[in-house]
Amino acid sequence: MASKKICVFPGDGIGPEVMREALAVLRTVETVSGGRRFETEEALVGGASYEAHGTPMTPDALALAKASDALLLGAVGGPKWDVLPFDLRPERGLLGLRRELGLFANLRPAVVFAPLIDASPLRRELVEGIDLMVVRELTGGIYFGEPRGESVIDGVETGINTEIYTRPEIERVARVAFDLARKRTRRVTSVDKFNVLESSVLWHRVVSEVGAKEYPDVELSHMLVDNCAMQLIRNPRQFDVMVTTNLFGDILTDEASMITGSIGMLPSASIGGKVGLYEPIHGSAPDIAGKGVANPLAMVLSVAMMLKYSFDMPVEAAWIEKAVARVLADGYRTGDIYREGEGKKVGTTEMGDRVRDAVQKTSLER
The residues that are catalytic are: 143, 193, 226, 250, 254
Residues in the chain: 366
Among 12, 69, 169, 250, contact with ligand IPM (rule: CB under 6 A): 250
CB 362, min distance to ligand IPM, A: 29
H or E segment at 178? helix 167-182
Q: Tell me which of ligand IPM, Mg ion, none is bound by residue 355, counting a contact when its beta carbon lies within the kind-specific cut-off of 5 to 8 angstroms.
A: none
Asked if 137 interacts with Mg ion (CB under 5 A), we say no
Strand partners, 242: 134, 189
Among 15, 77, 261, 264, contact with ligand IPM (rule: CB under 6 A): 77
CB 91, min distance to ligand IPM, A: 4
Cα gap 25→42, rounded to integer Å: 16
| Helices and strands in the chain: count of H runs, count of E runs | 12, 14
CB 281, min distance to ligand IPM, A: 5
Q: Are 324 and 300 in contact (CB under 8 A)?
A: yes
Cα gap 106→93, rounded to integer Å: 17
Measured from each CB, the residue nearest to Mg ion is 250
Asked if 272 interacts with ligand IPM (CB under 6 A), we say no
CB atoms within 10 A of CB 21: 25
For ligand IPM, the closer of residues 91 and 357 by Cβ is 91
Which residue in 6, 2, 1 sits closest to 302, CA to CA?
6
CB 248, min distance to Mg ion, A: 11
Asked if 91 interacts with ligand IPM (CB under 6 A), we say yes
Which residue in 130, 133, 117, 132 sits closest to 261, CA to CA?
117
Which DSSP symbol is given to 120? Answer: S
The residues in 249-278 that bind Mg ion, with binding defined as CB under 5 A, are 250
Catalog residues that contact Mg ion under the rule CB under 5 A.
250
Catalog residues that contact ligand IPM under the rule CB under 6 A.
76-77, 91, 94-95, 250, 281, 283
